[in-house]
Amino acid sequence: MPTPQENAATTRELIQRVQNEGDMGFAEKTLSESFVGTNPMAGGTADKAGAIAMFAMMRAWIPDMHTEVDDVIATGSKVAVRSTMTGTDTQGFIPGTPPTGKSFSMGAIDVFTFDDAGMNSGHYGVYDMMGAMGQLGLLPAPPQ
């Protein structure tokens, strides 16, 4: 049974190696076969394969995306991470729209669940997409 501190260390390594360095092998090794995520992209699946596809998609979407961990709260089987995600819109932030070339800084809070073997078995997160879209000038003007 892993300690909360061990789960927190695994979470930090997952963010660094997978999100920041694109090491999908580490995600293969760390996500449980029964993984359930709650933020699948449109057309994606909530399982392990869907999560790894999303990590890969994010690397292609924002190639210089970097997640800086601001705070970690770990207790029981849960690890919460508050972070700041920065990147440059070179591929089209909203899929199908031209890239703005601008950079953004987006607040995020994620919650990871770990099983008794220390494998990451679940995830959900909320991101300041509205703020990032505002920084990129992509928000529609409110109707008058």
Using CB under 8 A, list all residues that contact another protein. Answer: 4, 41-43, 71, 73-76, 78, 80, 82, 94-96, 107-109, 111, 124-131, 133, 140, 142-144
What is the C-alpha separation between 19 and 47, in angstroms, rounded?
Answer: 17
Smallest distance, another protein to C-beta of residue 20, A? 20
CB-wise, 26 or 61, nearer to another protein?
61
Q: Which C-beta is closer to another protein: that of 4 or that of 23?
A: 4
Q: Output 52 or 109, the one with its CB closest to another protein.
A: 109
The closest alpha carbon to 99, from 136, 57, 64, belongs to 136
CB-based burial, 108-128: b 16+ in 10 Å, e otherwise: bbbbbbbbeebbbbbbeeeeb
